[in-house]
Amino acid sequence: MTSKSLWMSIAVAPQAIPLQGDERCDVVVVGSGIAGLSTAYELSQRGRSVIVIDRGPIAGGMTARTSAHLAPLCDDLMGEMQKIKGEDQSKLFYQSQAAAVDRIEEIQKREGIDCDFRRLDGYLFQGDDMPADVIDKELDAVRAVGAPVERLVGVPLNECDTRHALRYPRQATFHPLKYLAGVAEACAKRGVRFFANTAADEVVEENGAVTVKTARGLIRAGHAVVATNSSIVDRVALHSKTSPYRTYVIGFAINRGALPDALYWDTEEPYHYVRLQPGDNHMDFVLVGGEDHKSGEVDDADKRFERLEQWARGKMPMLKDVTHRWSGQVLDTIDYAGFIGKNPGSEYIYVATGDSGQGLTHGVMGAILNATLVTGGESKWTELYAPDRKPLKAAKNWVMENSTALKNLAEYVTPGEISSADELEPGEGAIIRQGLRKIAAYRDAKGNVHQHSAACTHLGCHLHWNSFESCWDCPCHGSIFGPEGQVLNAPAISGLTSIS
């Protein structure tokens, strides 16, 4: 993906080189986002020897595209979660996510990581033309799980002084890559080894242990934790319970102090959110996000950014220039909780997937849970996040989300978007029909045409071009491929088949 986030100027473990041959360790962690690095931290704290590998640079995945709200409450509203998971499980969910925020606070303090971590208020407010009763229902649901909350009228955004709202104290935010750079340093001091540009091609159990196969060598370990955001060790089961959504962020410059430092989000669907991040020379950044849609379903990022900017300038007339525009992907689950723990059918392989838009807290909570399980401990959160759970009350969400795959496969019989690659301008991609097959064609800046099969290498869904990020998105389970066919996001493991 070509866009750059506000965080990407910080390199995490830049010294990491590719794997240089076979290795051994107690636990191999595949994936180096917040889930993988936090897992390495927790395990090295418990005295385990750990190797972390990543297909790309360390921490170059979705964590580098986040918007950094550390939220103890359910991102999709506590009321919605309670309808599916009931009060007791929702209470446990809140406690586990709050424990993740506490853990980040504790680690940055203990390791002396300068990452702009701060506790601050969060405001959920009535969206434009939205009824106020959503706020009342959510107030009841939040009180039921025992989280601190205050009902009020008015938030400090333009024309929002009569909006009904909830104030949540002790939310938090930070600079995610400054934090992970510090976590990686702390890990390295405890002997964790990092290998960048090393993709896991296979993770297999044999003879009571695990082998991770890569093109650069084998890693043999007692256990593996697969933290690749979307799981690479499960072909179908977990993926049928998650759905990929693309989401957008704009960064604006703002004079320091012009907006109270807090987290703001509204009740619209999808919701808008606002966060602040310290900058230099009395200027800060305001991040405004939203406009989510199912991945690959539309290719209209410019219109989405326009609408976001209009909304943001309406709510904050003091905003200055746009400094950043980026997008990323989140994986919603059918019951709003992630899938963390033993991989279904495995003995020594653990997974952390299904971020549900709160992947930062899920990643850290997942690290605590997986490190406990890998080292033979027990946790009160095992059942809540069990990857093999089948939430019956979420059946409606399951049917709705899986209809994407059926709709998608029908696209193989539709005409191409263009009839020949001659119609492509430099930098453009489109689908061409050639007999019975569909081709994903892209013309690079030098005029060379790259043609690949339009079938995703995960389970064969039909890819869609994303012109803002110059990549091919798979609407089914979230694989992303570069314009030259290389994998950019799991669950795909191999690149697209080249067609000459």
CB of 477 to ligand FAD, least distance (A): 13
CB of 489 to ligand FES, least distance (A): 9
By CB under 6 A, residue 474 contacts ligand FES: yes
CA distance 370 to 18: 25
The only residue of 100, 107, 461, 471 in contact with ligand FES, by rule CB under 6 A:
461
**Residue closer to ligand FAD (CB basis): 29 or 430:** 29
* Contact predicate 29/227, CB 8 Å: yes
CA distance 159 to 109: 38
Residue 291: CA atoms inside 13 Å, Cβ hemisphere, count? 24
**Residue closer to ligand FES (CB basis): 265 or 472:** 472
Phi/psi of residue 183, nearest 5 degrees: -65, -45
Hey, what amino acid is at 282?
A: H
**Residue closer to ligand FES (CB basis): 339 or 381:** 339
CB of 307 to ligand FAD, least distance (A): 16
Return the structure tokens found at 471. Answer: 């990549």
CB of 28 to ligand FES, least distance (A): 24
480-481 and 471-473 beta bridge pairing: antiparallel
CB of 396 to ligand FES, least distance (A): 22
By CB under 6 A, residue 237 contacts ligand FES: no
| Residue 34 contact, options ligand FAD, ligand FES, none, Cβ 5-8 Å cut-off depending on partner type | ligand FAD
CB of 368 to ligand FAD, least distance (A): 14
**Residue closer to ligand FAD (CB basis): 137 or 324:** 324
By CB under 6 A, residue 77 contacts ligand FES: no
464-466 and 471-473 beta bridge pairing: antiparallel
* Residue of closest CB approach to ligand FAD: 359
Q: 420: helix, coil or strand?
A: coil
By CB under 6 A, residue 477 contacts ligand FES: yes
Torsion on CA atoms 229, 234, 238, 239, rounded to nearest 10: 70
CA distance 308 to 273: 10
Provide the binding-site residues for ligand FAD, judged by CB under 6 A: 30-36, 53-56, 60-63, 65-69, 199-200, 227-229, 232, 247, 249, 289, 328-330, 355, 357-361, 363, 490, 493
By CB under 6 A, residue 479 contacts ligand FES: yes
| Residue 456 contact, options ligand FES, ligand FAD, none, Cβ 5-8 Å cut-off depending on partner type | ligand FES
CB of 356 to ligand FAD, least distance (A): 8
CA angle 395, 400, 406 (to 5 degrees): 120
**Residue closer to ligand FES (CB basis): 29 or 487:** 487
**Residue closer to ligand FAD (CB basis): 79 or 478:** 478
Buried b (16+ CB within 10 A) or exposed e, 273-299: bbbbbeeeeeebbbbbbbbbeebbeee
| Residue 478 contact, options ligand FES, ligand FAD, none, Cβ 5-8 Å cut-off depending on partner type | ligand FES
| Range list of H helices, 268-388 | 301-315, 359-374, 382-385
CB of 425 to ligand FAD, least distance (A): 28
CA distance 402 to 400: 6
By CB under 6 A, residue 62 contacts ligand FES: no
CB of 411 to ligand FES, least distance (A): 12
**Residue closer to ligand FAD (CB basis): 108 or 228:** 228
**Residue closer to ligand FAD (CB basis): 204 or 421:** 204
* Contact predicate 43/213, CB 8 Å: no
* Contact predicate 68/277, CB 8 Å: yes
Cβ neighbours for 302, distance < 8 A, ≥ 6 positions apart: 468
CB of 426 to ligand FAD, least distance (A): 27
By CB under 6 A, residue 459 contacts ligand FES: yes
| Residue 360 contact, options ligand FES, ligand FAD, none, Cβ 5-8 Å cut-off depending on partner type | ligand FAD
| Residue 404 contact, options ligand FES, ligand FAD, none, Cβ 5-8 Å cut-off depending on partner type | none
Burial class of residue 110, CB neighbours in 10 A (0-12, 13-18, 19+): exposed
CB of 93 to ligand FES, least distance (A): 27
Write the DSSP assignment of 176-227 as a string of letters. HHHHHHHHHHHHHHTT-EEE-S----EEEEETTEEEEEETTEEEEEEEEEE-
The only residue of 458, 473, 481, 487 in contact with ligand FES, by rule CB under 6 A:
458
| Residue 266 contact, options ligand FAD, ligand FES, none, Cβ 5-8 Å cut-off depending on partner type | none
Q: 13: helix, coil or strand?
A: coil
**Residue closer to ligand FES (CB basis): 312 or 490:** 490
* Contact predicate 482/468, CB 8 Å: no
Span of 78-86, 310-318, 366-374, 458-466 interacting with ligand FES by CB under 6 A: 458-466
Contact residues for ligand FES (CB under 6 A)? 456, 458-461, 474, 476-479, 491
